[in-house]
Homo-oligomer: A and B are copies of this chain.
Amino acid sequence: MQKFGGTSVADAERIKSVADYIARVHKRGNGPVVVVSAMGHETDDLLEVAAKVSKSRPGREMDMLVTAGERKAMALLCMALHDLGVPADSFTGSQAGVLTNGEHTKAKILEMRPARIEAALLAGRVPVIGGAQGVSSGREVTFLGRGGSDTTAVALAKALGAEACELYTDVSGVFSADPRVVPGARKLARLSYEEMLEMNAAGCPKPAMRSVEFARTHGVRLHVRSSFTWEPGTWVEKESAMEQPIVSAVVSDQSEAKLTVAGVADHPGVAAKLFRALADKLINVDMIEQNVSLHGTTDISFTVPHDDLEAAQQVALELQRELGASGVFADPDIATVSIVGAGMKTNPGVSAMMFEVLAAEGINIEMISTSAIRLTCVVRESAADRAVIALHKAFGLDWGGGL
């Protein structure tokens, strides 16, 4: 099972290069089964023209529109394969048996019935499936949402009993930190599903979190790798019985903002009221922190995506009187810095070490959130890169290092 992302099939040259690679794999044995995303910025272009044509943009029609993107990519890839003498057939999500619910623009897979894919494989052909597509029980075309191609690939890998699911992209794997920030960042050979999920949550966008969850649930091994260099990448799989590195990666996210509702009465139901109101507006709250109450009042701070900051502030201001709050303060200039590692749970000194490293850099910690294998601090946005570099070094992750 091989999945190629948008940058992997961005233009005619890239498509031919991917076809050449698939042809080599095909010659060595059966298959492969291929899932493909829309070319380059195709999906964005389609969304842009939709925005020009319509304000309402009903989900059913949006799904009909955007699925044209993968359709184009999969047909072109099959043509390129034919040129190389490889028999290949493209399949829409519907033809591939990706059965979903009817929730347009973000449909969920209910069942896989890949009879046509299996038949193609038996006939010695390479099936190329449009990613992120499905069909509902009402026979409507559905779209799984951005990043849905990864989910299609993982679901197909599971249904076909594939050995692993290779996710080809424009980077050579998952790194111990963003190489643009940390010159000594190194590619990780393997990560557990849990580590990958925590990295996703901490701001690492690829592979799509949902597909990692699906892979974990169904025990599908992922291999995140490059369609530009074809070198081996990063395996994401079940936690090994071997001893884990304490910290595997440092991840930073500058896409969030902080909101503080100050001086609210410290009695039951206050937080519930606030976060229910935010949830009703579909605002995605990430970290939440409530200070210790000293004088019968407390401050509640939480982070939201930048895009939701204005709406969240509006909600908080509307509730201010009811909550008895003394003020609502928005702070867009924050960043989160996280360390992730499966070994953290058995190493109690890790959080202390993280705080010491940041203190030594003179970086103030504004909020803290933890999970069993992740530790996240909110810092000034301007200090984020410095924090990542210092942590990466301190936890022995620099290329050639090792704790």
Contact = CB atoms under 8 A, between A and B. Distances in A.
22 contacts: A12-B49, A15-B53, A46-B72, A49-B72, A49-B76, A50-B79, A53-B80, A54-B79, A54-B82, A55-B83, A56-B83, A57-B82, A58-B82, A61-B75, A61-B78, A61-B88, A61-B90, A64-B90, A67-B71, A68-B68, A68-B69, A68-B75
Given A76-B54, A79-B50, A95 B139 contact: yes
Interface footprint category on A: 35 or more
Contacts of A69: 68
A62 interface: yes
A292 to B, nearest CB: 52
Contacts of A88: 61
A131 B62 CA distance: 19
Contact of A71 (B15, B16, B65, B74): B65
A186 interface: no
Contacts of A68: 68-69, 71-72, 75
Interface centre among A50, A65, A75, A82 (most CB of B within 10 A): A75
Contact of A78 (B15, B58, B71): B58
- Main SS of the interface on chain A? helix
A187 interface: no
Contacts of A75: 50, 61-62, 64-65, 68
B76 A53 contact: yes
Contacts of A82: 54, 56-58, 61
A243 B53 CA distance: 48
Contacts of A71: 64-65, 67-68, 71
A163 B29 CA distance: 58
A58 B86 CA distance: 12
- The 3 A-B residue pairs whose C-beta atoms are closest, nearest first, are A54-B79, A65-B75, A12-B52
A12 B53 contact: yes
Given A49-B72, A61-B76, 12 more contacts: A53-B79, A54-B79, A54-B80, A54-B82, A57-B82, A58-B79, A60-B90, A61-B75, A61-B88, A62-B79, A64-B75, A68-B68
A89 interface: yes
A68 B39 CA distance: 13
Nearest to A139: B95
A139 to B, nearest CB: 7
A214 B349 CA distance: 81
Contacts of A76: 49-50, 53-54, 61, 65
A52 B80 CA distance: 9
A26 to B, nearest CB: 16
Interface centre among A61, A62, A80, A89 (most CB of B within 10 A): A61
A68 to B, nearest CB: 4
Contacts of A139: 95, 116
Contacts of A90: 60-61, 64
Contacts of A52: 12
Contacts of A80: 53-54
A332 B173 CA distance: 60
